[in-house]
Structures are given as structure tokens and as C-alpha cells.
Structure 1
């Protein structure tokens, strides 16, 4: 009898988690292990490679849609990217420092780094007319996330 009650509750939670199509509140997302802070919707597709397909719907409900989400499907990419951050903040952002000091930036000829006194890490993205079309706070990104984002969204 107890197993039946547990199974009913468990199935109900699965239904609520995976079938609901509305966006979830930030608290609901945090309770499910997702933070909407800098979680890009384009990254939700990456869950499949780790055999976590069942989490993709919840990820899509918790992620931040960017202006180029629809453009990604069309193959439109940013012309260049500039990462601005104060080097005095590298202690707070060791992953950003590791990326800057590694060979990874050399993979992206249109990527540059700019020291801005007092600035938190922000990735500025430019179109082919050299207009800043989007700026993303990347405080919580690690080196792999930044590399993957540039690979997917920056023209080579």
C-alpha cells in the first residue's frame, strides 16, 4: 500500500516537472537544480549528450532566451565578441582568468579581451555592422561554457 502511494506522488511530481509547458518561477527552477542566471536556452540541447534528455523540458522552462535563439537555427552568428572585466577581479572569477590566460582565445580570431577597471565579466556581442547587439553577464560561466558559447555563436 505504501509503495502505491509513493509511486502516485512520484508520478505526479514527474508530470508536474516534465509536462508543464509554462515557464517556471526562479524558485521552482532552483528547486529543480536550475538557475535562470546565465542559463542560456541554447545550452539545454547539450543535455542530450550526457543522456539527460528528460531534463531538457525543465531546462527550457528555466533558461534565458537570447535574441539570437531563433537566429541560431538559421545559422546567423555574431561577428565579434569582446570580454570586458577588471583583472583585479580574477580572484573572484578564476574560470574567466583561466580562459583569458589559456590558448583558448586564439581559437577565435574575432574574440578580444579588454581590461575595464572595476568591471564584472561581461561578454559583448557585435553584429556585422559592428553594433553591440547583446551583452551577457558571465560571472557564473566556466571555461568550457564560454568556449562552447563562442564556438556556437561566433563567426570564425
Structure 2
């Protein structure tokens, strides 16, 4: 790998807080010395960091080396679906555009709540309507909000419940 590519990769890893421990299944490298020669610290390299590297188009060879030196951090590829969500907002044009569009009708489990002076947040709720996660979305655009809801809001379960409740 050329020195510039190695520098970009190390800067990327530094911004993620470093690099992890060897994975049981993903480690093909016998020694930490080989990982160090590639610029990785197997005691701190998380495999999710290697997965994130693909966004920066650093090359498949570099990503493969990373995956050989990383350890699993338990991050699942499948997302948990939540039955309901609350979108709290005040005056953020990006989020307001989403709210005023017809896109919100695609999410029957989504409640829009206006909170004076509040930064926009999404609260994900479980079946008992307890808040499980709260996410700040002040830097998100309309498409990001929609993608997130598509990924984490379980619209199918709510539609089935609504159909059963209708006589």
C-alpha cells in the first residue's frame, strides 16, 4: 500500500478511537507483528471499524487486512425494529420538510410532537411504549430521517394490528 493510503487509513482509524483484539473467526493472521506492519493494532481494532472503512473507498485489500486483524464488537448487521417512535421537533427546516411532506403517512407508529425550543430527536419505543433509545437528529436531512425510520420502525406490525382492529 502506498504511504498516502496508509496515512488516510491510520487517520480514519484514529478518528474512531483506534483499533481492537483478535477475532476468533475473522483472524487469519498468526501474529500481531503482521498486523502492526499493516498499521493495525489488533488489541484495539474493532471489526465494525473495518466495515465502516468501505464508505471511504480505501480499497478491498486494505479492508481485508483490517478484517484479518480485528475482533468482533458485537455490532449486529440486522437492526432491531421498534413498534413506535416519537419525533420531537421545533424549528429545524430539514426535519420540518419531512414532517410537512406526505412521507410521514408511511409510518403509522410515528408520532410528531412539537416541543418549544427543543432540538429534534427521535425516541424509539418498545411494545410497552417505554423509551428505549433517544437520538439527536439536528444534523439529519429529510432523506436521513426517512432512511432511519425505514430501518428501525416496524411498520408491518402496526399495519397488521390496525387491520385486526378494523371490523
What corresponds to 2:80 in structure 1?
A: 76
Mapped to 1, the partners of 2:83 and 2:54 lie a distance apart of: 23
In structure 1, the residue matched to 2:126 is: 127
Alpha carbons of structure 1 residues 133 and 69: separation in structure 2 relative to 1, 3 Å: farther
Rg larger for: 2
Query: Could you list the per-position Cα deviations for residues 8-52 of structure 1 after superposition, in whole angstroms to 9, with x for gaps in the alignment?
Result: 9xx2121132367845169xxxxxxxxxxxxxx9xx5995xxxx6
Q: TM-score, normalised by structure 1?
A: 0.58
* Structure-2 change in CA distance of 1:94 and 1:135 (3 Å): same
Report how far residue 138 of structure 1 moved: 0.4
Distance 1:46 1:109 in 2: 34
CA distance in 1, matches of 2:98, 2:59: 28
RMSD: 3.3
Distance 1:127 1:136 in 2: 15
Contact in 2 for aligned 1:82/1:112 (Cα 8 Å): yes
TM superposition outliers: structure 1 runs of 4+ over 6 Å: none
Corresponding residue of 1:117 = 116
Q: Distance in 2 between matches of 1:102 and 1:140?
A: 19
User: Relative to structure 1, is the Cα distance of residues 55 and 82 closer, same or farther in structure 2, using a 3 angstrom cutoff?
Assistant: farther
Cα 1:121–1:147, aligned 2, differ >3 Å: closer, same or farther? same
Number of equivalent positions: 110
CA contact (8 A) 2:5 2:58 kept: no
Distance 1:106 1:46, change over 3 A: farther
* 1:18-57 alignment runs, 5 A limit: 18=9, 22-24=13-15, 47=55, 53-54=57-58
Unpaired segments ≥5 residues, structure 1: 1-7, 27-40, 58-67
Shift of 1:131: 1.5
Between 1:146-155 and 1:120-129, the stretch displaced more is: 120-129
Aligned to 2:94: 95
Question: What TM-score, normalized to structure 2?
Answer: 0.54
Counterpart for residue 32 of structure 1: none
